[in-house]
Chains A and B, each alone.
Chain A
Amino acid sequence: MFKGRLVFIFLTFLLAAPVVVVAFAWLNPQWELFAHFADTLLPDMLMNTLILLLGVALGAGLLGTGLAWLVTMCEFPGRRAFEILFFLPFVLPAYVVAFVYLGLLDFAGPVQGFLRSVTPFQGVDIRSGHAAVITVFTLVFYPYVYMLAKIGFQAQRHTYVEASQMLGASHWRTFRTVSLPLARPSIVAGITLALMETISDFGVVSMFNYDTFTTVIYSAWEDYRSIEVAAQVASLLVLFSFILIAVERYSRGRAKFYTDQCMISRPFQLQGRRAFLAVVASLLVVGLSFIAPLLQLLVWGWQTFTVEWQDQYWSWMFNTLALGVMAALMSVSVALMLLSIKYRSRKPSKSANLLLSFASMGYALPGSVMAIGLLFVLFIVETWVKQWFGFELLLLVSGGLGILLYAYLSRFIAVAIGPVEGAFESIHPSYVEAAQTLGANRFKIFRRVYLPLVLPGVAVAFLLVAVDVMKELPATYLLRPYGWDTLAIQVYELAAEGLYERAALPSLLLIGMSLLILLVVKRIELKS
């Protein structure tokens, strides 16, 4: 028991190390460089970041919540299909959608070209201003809000809506005062995820030449080689994420938001004009966020296949899949280890929950910051070893794949813990006790009770981490060892050069692989 606890504490600290280290960067402040950034880049970037976050919170929040409410509370033609289709943009990496829309809508693109030829329209630079970049992030990240808001709406009893109606409330008042406030924690969690993905992004903002906090972090690291300042700026981002979560938690007060019931029927049957409007709006969202980018990629991919295809794609595909599978295997194994220790006792302790949240902090950290944190750890270890033992470890050079996988593990362990913990929680202690009273030994209990109940959660966790890692760009970009280029890197490098048509091929391969994995997840979810 004691050994188990030690392993638990060691693992949680190991997982949280890069996050903790980022905060420790303040112990060695480099005020001169910080002052330089404060004078030059920071004010504009602060304003840009704030406008971007506000825009995405509003855009992804409204879209994700609206769609989740529509498919949970209303019955309309095609609802079942839309329920899955709304989720699909999740497989599109943000940088892919960004370059597709840039290629289509940029000054030199076909849409503006056509408009200039048939109308007096002079053309606009979609890279200037905030609207285009906010729209791209909204279209790509609304599925986070959609996914979680849907859970929030589904967890409500259908009688709440009926009770509100019976008390004379209109549909709008029922939505505003009952359904929406009850789903608020889930919606805020979804928006928080979307915002974290937004502030950690570096592909989209660099393609749109839109300077944000991430630009300062990269500049501090790439231009000035200052891990400390990069980490200090990064820690401000982490602080921002925590403030966001804390404010939401505090605002809940004593009120209760979750019930142990779920929506068993849809209270609103849409007919006639309303059903038509629901279908048109749904088609518009799916068209803009998934079908249009995918069709454009297919067209470009077809046109440039012979130019772009080279044998090296086999190795990029292998690297992408290998990194995804290795990171997923590690994350799921660590999650299983942690949770089997936690659920050993009938009532898991509060400290175990606290340590698990501590270990999951990496998800709140942008990939770029995670990379910086890790580099900072290695930097400290290197300096320390050199100082005390007089030789160079060259961890930054030789650590290679191990460092990258550690970064993935620390960043995505929360994604693995979620579904696996859900599975563990579904095993009521009385199941095990019932098996014991029926004469089953430990092995039989594991094989016949635990394994079948945990397996679907484990499979979902494995696949979700794999998809996330395959799409991941910033940490991979900064930490990948020589020879470990992935499809995501290839997409970014081609798109950054403005070779959008050629970037279609690696994008399609990446999307195809992610889509395949996602379909397997859905099958497992449906089966369980």
Chain B
Amino acid sequence: MLAVKDLSISLGERPILENFVMDMPQGEIVAILGQSGSGKTTVLRAIAGLQCAQSGEVHLNQACVLCEGRCLVPPQKRGIGMVFQDYALFPHMTVQQNITFGIADWSKKDQQNRLNELLDLVRLPQEMAKRYPHELSGGQQQRVALARALAPRPGLILLDEPFSSLDSSTRYPLVLEMKSVLKSEGVSAILVTHDPKEAELMADRIGLLEAGVIENWQQLH
């Protein structure tokens, strides 16, 4: 469903990615492991359409969304979900408004059904729907961010270090929980992280990104 070919991105004079290549079928969860500054977030941003490139291609469901470095399809038209490192929950909207933001064109009834379904899936009580993000704990915010990204039923979800601000006692149970949610929705996902344990728990396949290139992929499942 996703194919990245020879993607090269530089920021100013500094090369971030060089001829980056990756393929993934529908339903797979892939982890990209790397130190800060290794370019792992840049990979996600290019796939999302938030960043264009110097050269290379990104194909989504056989369609070229980034060709010869140029962004052909804007982020809002790619049908990709994303969970940000800081969650980026809109602070002036309730949990319900956040989750239904991406499905505003659905009927009210369908929106409500999807909201209830997602709150159950990410194991948040229904009464939380009326709360504001700053009234939730870090773990709860993270679940809302995942539910929001899943709401429009995207084929692919990008996870940009979503566990980095959680402490280790809540982090690893949440990683497993998120994996089961993604698998039950049948959605593909790319997780970028610097934590090897997180990658192992979550992914079917892990790639180590060093100096803008992944030399080997390790198949786990």
Give A367 to B92 CA distance when docked, in angstroms: 36
Instruction: Give the one of B77, B82, B85, B152 with max A CB within 10 A.
Output: B82
Which chain B residue lies CB-closest to A156? B91
Please provide the 7 A-B residue pairs with the shortest distance between their CB atoms, ordered closest to farther: A167-B102, A159-B88, A163-B88, A256-B91, A165-B75, A255-B92, A166-B82
**Is B208's CB within 8 Å of the partner chain A?**
no
Residue B61 is within 8 A (CB to CB) of chain A in the complex: no
> Interface of A with B (CB < 8 Å)?
157, 159-160, 162-170, 177-178, 181-182, 254-257, 259, 261
From the candidates B82, B132, B148, B151, name the one contacting A255 in the complex (CB within 8 A).
B132
| Among candidates A159, A169, A255, A256, residue contacting B76 with C-beta atoms closer than 8 Å | A169
Would you call A162 and B75 a contact (CB within 8 A)?
A: yes
A163 vs B149: C-alpha distance in the bound complex, in angstroms?
A: 9
Instruction: Scan B27-38; emit 1 where CB is below 8 A from any A CB, else 0.
Output: 000000000000
Q: How many residues of B contact A (CB 8 A)?
A: 29
B84 touches A (CB below 8 Å): yes
Q: Contact partner of B91 among A167, A168, A169, A255, CB < 8 A?
A: A255
Whether, in the assembled complex, B134 has its beta carbon less than 8 Å from a beta carbon of chain A, the answer is yes
**CB-CB under 8 A for A259 and B102, given A165-B76, A167-B148:** no
Complex-state Cα separation, A182 to B88, whole angstroms: 13
With A and B bound together, what is the CA distance between A165 and B88 in angstroms? 12
Closest to A167 in B: B102
28 A-B pairs in the complex with CB atoms less than 8 angstroms apart: A157-B86, A157-B88, A159-B85, A159-B88, A160-B90, A162-B50, A162-B75, A163-B148, A165-B50, A166-B48, A166-B76, A166-B81, A166-B149, A167-B81, A167-B101, A167-B148, A168-B79, A168-B102, A170-B76, A177-B101, A181-B92, A182-B90, A182-B91, A182-B92, A254-B132, A255-B91, A256-B134, A257-B92
Measured CB to CB, the nearest residue on chain A to B89 is: A163
- Does B80 have its Cβ within 8 Å of any Cβ on chain A? yes
B76 cross-chain contacts in A, Cβ below 8 A: 165-170
- Are the C-beta atoms of B90 and A178 separated by less than 8 Å? yes
Instruction: Check if A164 sits within 8 Å of B82, measured CB to CB.
Output: no
Complex: A165 Cα to B78 Cα, angstroms: 10
Contact B75 A261, beta carbon cutoff 8 Å = no
Interface string of B163-207 (1 = CB under 8 A from A): 000000000000000000000000000000000000000000000
Docked complex Cα distance between A257 and B135 (Å): 13
Contact A167-B135, Cβ < 8 Å, known A157-B86, A178-B90, A255-B92: no
The interface residues of chain B lying within 8 Å CB-to-CB of A163 are: 82, 84, 88, 90, 148
Query: Which partner residue on chain B sits nearest A178 by CB separation?
Result: B90
Q: Are B86 and A261 in contact (CB under 8 A)?
A: yes
